[in-house]
Amino acid sequence: MNAGGESVRQTIKHKAGVDLVVAPRRYVLDTLLATAAQRAGAQVRPGVTVTGLRRDGRGRVRGVSGHDRAGAPVELGARWVVGADGLGSRVARSVGAALTETGRAGGAAQYAYYEGVPWAGIEFFVAERFFAGVFPTHDGQACIFVCTPAADAGAVRRGAGSRVEAFGELLERSAPQLAERLRVARRTSPVQGVLRQPNQLRQAFGPGWALVGDAGYYRDAVTAYGISDAFRDAELLAVALDRALGADAEEEEEAAALVRYQQHRDQALREIFEITCRLSAYPPVSAFVELQKQLGGAIDKEAAALAARPVPGERRLATA
């Protein structure tokens, strides 16, 4: 952590069964998840685009419609449809999932991957109205990111000749020592990013549908951790749907299981959501650093709570 001309280095401590932090490339992580799903019995249909939802006469969602890569129509029936389709979720739009809470919006995040220089570990750089850093990842590469108010990022972009040039200028302003190191590195990806990120919660379920991941809950990338959120909520939803899909489950029992899912999700995200809203306002550096410390404590607390939960599907032996 670099802030105010000072640098602090810490080693990841073993907490709640976790002794490392990872930042995997999505093409690696997504392949692992798809393979695990297939091994668990799921039928994976790559190349299918969902364009709408199927409903029964009462309006309950009963499946999806869409097309495959060749454009051939696809119709899939289901007792429950889970929208895990990101911030712009088609499922959320189709069912009219209401926003249940919104926080301050307006942060921007931009990033690119680089290789060719050594990475000592995860690095953070805090400056007035800036938060930048390094996440080492696969194949000797690292994700280099810059977060800043959207208005600031937009002003730099308008004055630059390209997105790459604007990204370089933001790095020079936020972390000049990091920008200097990158002069001998090679950029291995386009510069990507999001402007005017929302902080929001959506209604998490309805008749025959549920939302998980960014589709149901999105917060500014200034606190990262989104994939961890998605894993947590996917587990909570899996437990709820297991109960809802029980052979003898009545509609009231289904609804009760999904109510608990939303309650558990909202309770789990609360502290980090509130810290994120405050960080995305980019307070003075001293306050920003203090909020980062609070964030670390909140993540540790959540990790301990998750570690204490029973593993779904795991049989526990009774002890005398």
| Same domain? 303 vs 208 | yes
| Same domain? 91 vs 110 | no
Q: For position 214, which CATH number holds? A: 3.50.50.60
**169 contact partners, CB below 8 Å, separation of at least 6:** 156, 160
Q: For position 117, which CATH number holds? A: 3.30.9.100
Structure-token pair, residue 128 = 């007035």
Per-residue pLDDT reduced to its tens digit, 138-170: 999 999 999 999 999 999 999 999 999 999 999
| Same domain? 97 vs 136 | no
What span, in angstroms and rounded, lies between the C-alpha atoms of 237 and 213? 10
| 24: β partners | none
Identity at 21, one-letter amino acid code: V
What span, in angstroms and rounded, lies between the C-alpha atoms of 167 and 240? 43
Residue 221 lies in a domain: yes
What span, in angstroms and rounded, lies between the C-alpha atoms of 12 and 49? 40
Per-residue pLDDT reduced to its tens digit, 206-217: 999 999 999 999
Q: What is the mean pLDDT of residues 302-309?
A: 87
Contact yes or no for 71/45 (Cβ under 8 A): no
Per-residue pLDDT reduced to its tens digit, 273-304: 999 999 999 999 999 999 999 999 999 898 88
- Last-in-domain residue among 165, 196, 227: 196
| Same domain? 202 vs 299 | yes
* Structural domain count, the chain: 2
3-state secondary structure of 125: strand
Which residue in this structure is represented by tokens 């001998």? 184
Identity at 97, one-letter amino acid code: A
Q: What is the mean pLDDT of residues 100-116?
A: 93
| Same domain? 259 vs 202 | yes
* pTM for the structure as a whole: 0.91
| Domain housing 162 | 2-11+105-196
Contact yes or no for 157/143 (Cβ under 8 A): no
Residue 261 lies in a domain: yes
| Same domain? 90 vs 120 | no
Residue 316 lies in a domain: no
Give the pLDDT band of residue 320 (cuts 50, 70, 90): very low
Contact yes or no for 227/217 (Cβ under 8 A): no
Residue 20 lies in a domain: no
| Same domain? 75 vs 162 | no
Residue 293 lies in a domain: yes
| 45: β partners | none
Q: What is the mean pLDDT of residues 42-46?
A: 93
- Last-in-domain residue among 196, 222, 252: 196
Closest C-alpha among 106, 88, 105 to residue 97: 88
- Last-in-domain residue among 172, 196, 220: 196
What span, in angstroms and rounded, lies between the C-alpha atoms of 263 and 261? 5
Contact yes or no for 211/82 (Cβ under 8 A): yes
Residue 180 lies in a domain: yes
| Same domain? 73 vs 120 | no
Burial string for 284-293 (b: 16+ CB within 10 Å, else e) reads ebeebbebbe
| Same domain? 217 vs 301 | yes
Structure-token pair, residue 30 = 């997504």
Per-residue pLDDT reduced to its tens digit, 50-66: 999 999 999 999 999 99
Residue 137 lies in a domain: yes
Tell me the residue ranges of DSSP E strands in 186-313.
186-187, 192-202, 205-206, 209-211, 217-218
What span, in angstroms and rounded, lies between the C-alpha atoms of 188 and 76? 38
Residue 142 lies in a domain: yes
Q: What is the mean pLDDT of residues 84-113?
A: 94
Residue 248: pLDDT over 80: no
Per-residue pLDDT reduced to its tens digit, 179-201: 999 999 999 999 999 988 999 99
| Same domain? 132 vs 246 | no
Give the pLDDT band of residue 242 (cuts 50, 70, 90): very high
Residue 110: pLDDT over 90: yes
Task: Provide the mean pLDDT of the chain.
Answer: 92
| Same domain? 145 vs 262 | no
**150 contact partners, CB below 8 Å, separation of at least 6:** 106, 107, 108, 195, 196, 197
| Same domain? 213 vs 295 | yes
Give the pLDDT band of residue 316 (cuts 50, 70, 90): low
